[in-house]
Amino acid sequence: MWIFTETGFISAVRKPEYPDLVTVRGRDRASLTPLANFASVDIAKSPNGDYPYRLFVDPGLFAQWLFEQAEAIDYSNFKSRIAKTRGYDYAHELGRVWSVMLATEDAESRTFDPAAIEAANLNTVCFTTTEEASNDQ
């Protein structure tokens, strides 16, 4: 599971060699530090792994930490918050992730659907072409 919080990016998995723990990996130490402090565990270096840092945490503690991260959301724009908590360079890289993921939107995500608008009780929606607007004047 990839997780982006206001303090960074982590990847959580269950490794067969540690079945009773969640292995949480990070590209940088700063992304793992809040969880390490919360769970009172050490961050290990793994320079030959796909992520250079990792920690091992009880699944219940990990779930509690995730819950607290969700409960603490008090911002209306994630990329702006990251710029404040991790700096502009980090926020820029997350913006790149956002734009790559934009390509995964499904075909129906941005189309006009009259049935959906009616179901949402938004019957006042009006689409006008530039030509129609100039004819009304």
Neighbours of 6 (CB within 10 A): 16
Please state, as a whole number, how many other Cβ atoms lie within 10 Å of the Cβ of residue 122: 9
Which pLDDT tens digit goes with each residue over 96-131? 999 898 888 887 777 666 676 666 655 444 444 444
Average pLDDT, the chain: 86
For residue 59, the model assigns a pLDDT of: 98
Round to whole Å and give the CA distance between 31 and 9.
6
Higher pLDDT, 121 or 41: 41
In this predicted structure, the answer to whether residue 25 has a pLDDT above a threshold of 80 is yes
Mean pLDDT of the 32-57 span:
96
Instruction: Name the helix (H) or strand (E) containing 90.
Output: helix 88-102
Question: Average pLDDT in the 62-76 region?
Answer: 96
**pTM of the entire predicted model:** 0.76
